[in-house]
Structures are given as structure tokens and as C-alpha cells.
């Protein structure tokens, strides 16, 4: 194995997605100190661009140090106090993880379930809120990467807020690929990741919290159990908020911030609407090609960013993926959780969602499956 020069793979799995050379070059800029005014200006600009991409005015919007799971933990540890009752919608691996993380925060989790590949109706969520009136938070996954299901969210805030609960959304595989309007959709806490539809290397988790969430954090009577992810301290550094100016908490991942800033610049240059339209179009192109080959989608409401298809009868799951990687330098994803051995997951995210990649993976699959 060559460990000195990593190959240039075509990353069409569930993440990481291909990273543009612009972003890689940005990462190679000189490392600044985390309190250098120049770096703080770069961070401020990055947070402002994140607000634009999240479509929010929330002052508390910043990149958490760590991958998407760190964002999930950050939302959970800051909003939940031991004994709180929450509802988590579980229709795949990531809903299951949200339940686990929230239980670790001491929450009593009422999990509601949908079959893998299915989505939740608002009626189902409303019924759960009626059944558990003390619920203070509803957690749901916008883009369930383990099944490829696309959960509608617009209007859900009316139901959740009528019960005085917070709406918490996992947008790891939708931010930068699907329509997502944090303020219009009344989302109170949201987290994403850099290495999916933003096409940046893994390492940061953009998050945003509404005024409602902030009020909830300010009303806590117990300390946040995680020191690293405690927003009462983090916000002093990232936003200068909470009084006392900007103070050191942990060393920000400086060069990762350069990468994210550049990746967000690329998103905003393309324009959010154009970007969403491109992801839709590439999904349709892939879908037409796969279905013409006799392959079928597992979810009824498929994401545009992640295509989850059943493995055809007689095909060797690992063998096909190995040939894609060895002969074509193409990575696709295996099935995850209950889908293991039953599904392939083809990601068309960010910089990877192109005509060239769609046609290449279709041609390679056609050749291998013949
Ligand atoms: C990838 C993913 C995560 C976890 O992100 P990491 O960057 O792997 O920590 C969480 N939720 C969803 C829906 C994801 O697709």
C-alpha cells in the first residue's frame, strides 16, 4: 500500500464527498493564532456565511470543532438536563444515534419509529406530543443517510412549538444540497457537517441555535456535563457573546476554518437555489440510469444527495464495491445498520454531484454487473 500519496478517489459514498482544489489550497494557507485579529475576522466571516447557508439570522451560529456527531452532542448536552422528556424520531441509524446521545444526557427519550426508508407524518409526531405532554424537545433527521429518506420539515414547527417544545434537526446530509430554511421553518437547533454537501474535508460541524434555544440554555439549573461542548463558554469565543469579549476556550482548528470559509464561498457563488436545483437534476439523471438497469430505490421519498438502492439478486455486495474502487477509483457506500448487505448508497454531494460522476458510476456499474 502506498501511504505517502493518497489516491485521487471519486468519492460517491455517504461522505466524505470530493473536495475542490480551491478548498485544499485554502487549507494550505499559513496557520494564524486563534486570537489573532486576522483569524477572528476570518471566523466572523465564516459564521456570517454559515448564517446565509442555513438561511438564519441566529447570532449563535458557528462551526463546532469535530465532525457531525460533535454537532449532535453539542445540541443535546446544551439543551437537555437530566430528567427532561424528549421525543426522537427514529427511522434509521442517525435517529437511533440521536436517541442514544440524548439518553446519555439523562433525558427520558420517547422514541417514535417509522420503518427504515419511510418518513414521519406530522400527525404521528403530533400524536406523540399529545401522549407525552411534558416533552421539551423533538429531534428529527432531515436527511437520513442510512436509508436515503428525505423528511419534510416545513410546518412541523407549528406543532412542536404549540407544545412549547424545541425543534432539533440533523441536517448533516442536507445542508448545501437540499432546500433548508432554518428561520422560515422555525428550527431551534440544527447541526451539520463539512464533509457532505459542503464538500470540505471532515472536521467541523456547523451549528445554529434560535433565541428559544438560548433561553432554554440560560434557564438551566445544572452545568452542561461536557466541558468541551459547553456553549455558555464557547459563545464567548465564537461570537464574543455572553459578556467579557473573546476569550480562549480551546484552540480553534485554524486551517479547517480556512477550508470551510472557502467551501462556503463556493456555495454562495453558485447560489443556494442553483445548488439545490443541480442536486435535484443529478439525482434524476442517476435515478433514470439505475432504474433503466433494473435497480430500484429503497425509500419512497429519496434524498437527492444520497441514493439508497437495493443490491440486485446474485450480485456480490463487497465484490462490486471493491471492483469500483480498484478499477475505477470510485467509492460508493455499503448498507448501514439493518440495510447492511441489502443496499448500496451512492452519494451525489456538493462538488461530487456532476454529470461526469453520474455517467461514470453508471457506466462502471453497468460494466461490473453485466
Ligand atoms: C454523517 C452523518 C452524521 C455524523 O457525522 P460525522 O461527521 O460522521 O460525525 C450524523 N447524521 C447524519 C444524518 C449523517 O449523515
Indicate whether residue 18 lines ligand 1 (CB < 6 A).
no
pLDDT tens for each residue of 153-180? 999 999 999 999 999 999 999 999 999 9
**Cα 254 from chain centre:** 21
Residue 45 has what pLDDT? Answer: 97
Give me the CATH number covering residue 211. 3.40.640.10
Residue 239 has what pLDDT? Answer: 81
Q: Is residue 264 part of a domain?
A: yes
Q: Is residue 36 part of a domain?
A: yes
Shared domain check, 183 and 70 = yes
Shared domain check, 247 and 288 = no
Last residue of a domain, one of 223, 249, 268: 268
147 pLDDT exceeds 90? yes
Average pLDDT over residues 28-53: 97
Shared domain check, 305 and 213 = no
Shared domain check, 250 and 129 = yes
Q: Which residue is closest in CA terms to ligand 1's atom 5?
A: 68
Residue 171 has what pLDDT? Answer: 98
Band of pLDDT at residue 243, cut at 50, 70 and 90: low
Give me the CATH number covering residue 306. 3.90.1150.10
Shared domain check, 296 and 155 = no
Q: Which residue is closest in CA terms to ligand 1's atom 3?
A: 68
Last residue of a domain, one of 268, 293, 318: 268
pLDDT tens for each residue of 45-85? 999 999 999 999 999 999 999 999 999 999 999 999 999 99
Shared domain check, 230 and 288 = no
Measuring CA to CA, which residue among 9, 15, 10 is closest to residue 349? 15
Residue 42 has what pLDDT? Answer: 97
Query: Structural domain tally of the chain?
Result: 2
301 pLDDT exceeds 80? yes
Higher pLDDT, 2 or 271: 271
For residue 146, the ligand 1 atom closest to its alpha carbon is: 15
Q: Is residue 132 part of a domain?
A: yes
> Domain span at residue 152?
21-268
Question: In testing the pocket of ligand 1, which one of 64, 65, 69, 171 has its CB within 8 Å of the most ligand atoms?
Answer: 69
Q: Is residue 85 part of a domain?
A: yes
Indicate whether residue 349 lines ligand 1 (CB < 6 A).
no
240 pLDDT exceeds 80? no
Shared domain check, 57 and 93 = yes
Shared domain check, 296 and 257 = no
Average pLDDT over residues 39-44: 96
What percentage of the chain exceeds 70 in pLDDT? 99
Average pLDDT over residues 239-258: 86
Residue 244 has what pLDDT? Answer: 65
Q: Is residue 3 part of a domain?
A: no
Shared domain check, 240 and 148 = yes
Q: Is residue 4 part of a domain?
A: no
Q: Is residue 5 part of a domain?
A: no
Q: What is the pTM of this model?
A: 0.97
Last residue of a domain, one of 268, 285, 311: 268
Shared domain check, 299 and 174 = no
Band of pLDDT at residue 1, cut at 50, 70 and 90: confident
Q: What is the mean pLDDT of the chain?
A: 97
86 pLDDT exceeds 80? yes
Shared domain check, 99 and 197 = yes
How many angstroms does the Cα of residue 68 sit away from the middle of ligand 1?
Answer: 5
Shared domain check, 160 and 80 = yes
Cell, residue 353: 454531484
How many angstroms does the Cα of residue 56 sit away from the middle of ligand 1?
Answer: 21
Q: Is residue 2 part of a domain?
A: no
Amino acid at each position: 500500500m502506498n501511504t505517502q500519496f493518497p489516491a485521487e478517489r471519486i468519492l460517491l459514498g455517504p461522505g466524505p464527498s470530493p473536495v475542490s482544489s480551491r478548498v485544499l489550497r485554502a487549507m494550505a494557507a499559513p496557520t494564524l493564532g486563534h486570537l489573532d485579529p486576522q483569524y477572528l475576522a476570518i471566523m466572523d466571516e465564516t459564521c456570517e456565511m454559515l448564517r446565509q447557508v442555513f438561511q438564519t439570522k441566529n447570532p449563535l451560529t458557528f462551526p463546532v470543532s469535530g465532525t457531525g456527531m460533535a454537532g449532535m452532542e453539542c445540541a443535546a448536552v446544551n439543551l437537555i438536563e437530566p430528567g427532561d422528556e424528549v421525543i426522537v424520531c427514529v427511522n434509521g441509524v442517525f435517529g437511533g444515534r440521536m436517541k442514544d446521545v440524548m439518553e446519555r444526557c439523562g433525558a427520558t427519550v420517547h422514541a417514535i419509529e417509522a420503518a427504515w426508508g419511510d418518513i414521519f407524518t406530522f400527525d404521528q409526531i403530533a400524536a406523540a406530543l399529545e401522549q407525552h405532554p411534558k416533552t421539551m424537545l423533538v429531534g428529527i433527521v432531515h436527511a437520513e443517510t442510512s436509508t436515503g429518506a428525505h423528511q419534510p420539515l416545513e410546518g412541523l414547527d407549528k406543532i412542536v412549538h404549540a407544545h412549547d417544545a424545541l425543534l432539533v434537526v440533523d441536517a448533516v446530509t442536507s445542508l448545501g444540497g437540499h432546500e433548508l430554511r432554518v428561520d422560515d421553518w422555525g428550527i431551534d437547533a440544527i447541526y451539520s457537517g463539512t464533509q457532505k454537501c459542503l464538500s470540505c474535508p471532515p472536521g467541523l460541524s456547523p451549528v445554529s441555535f434560535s433565541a428559544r434555544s438560548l433561553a432554554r440554555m440560560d434557564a438551566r439549573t445544572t452545568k452542561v456535563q461536557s466541558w468541551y461542548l459547553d456553549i455558555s463558554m464557547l459563545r464567548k469565543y465564537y461570537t464574543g457573546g455572553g459578556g467579557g469579549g473573546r476569550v480562549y476556550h480551546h484552540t480553534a482548528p485554524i486551517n479547517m476554518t480556512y477550508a470551510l470559509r472557502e467551501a462556503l464561498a463556493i456555495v454562495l457563488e453558485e447560489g443556494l437555489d442553483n445548488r439545490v436545483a443541480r442536486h435535484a437534476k443529478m439525482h434524476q439523471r442517476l435515478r433514470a440510469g439505475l432504474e433503466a438497469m433494473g435497480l430500484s430505490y429503497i425509500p419512497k421519498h429519496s434524498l437527492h444527495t444520497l441514493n439508497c438502492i437495493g443490491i440486485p439478486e446474485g450480485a456480490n455486495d463487497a465484490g462490486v464495491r471493491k471492483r469500483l474502487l480498484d478499477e475505477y477509483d470510485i467509492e460508493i457506500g455499503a448498507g448501514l445498520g439493518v440495510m447492511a448487505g441489502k443496499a448500496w448508497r451512492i452519494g451525489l454531494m456538493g462538488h461530487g454531484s456532476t454529470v461526469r460522476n453520474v455517467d461514470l458510476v453508471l457506466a462502471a456499474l453497468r460494466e461490473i454487473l453485466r
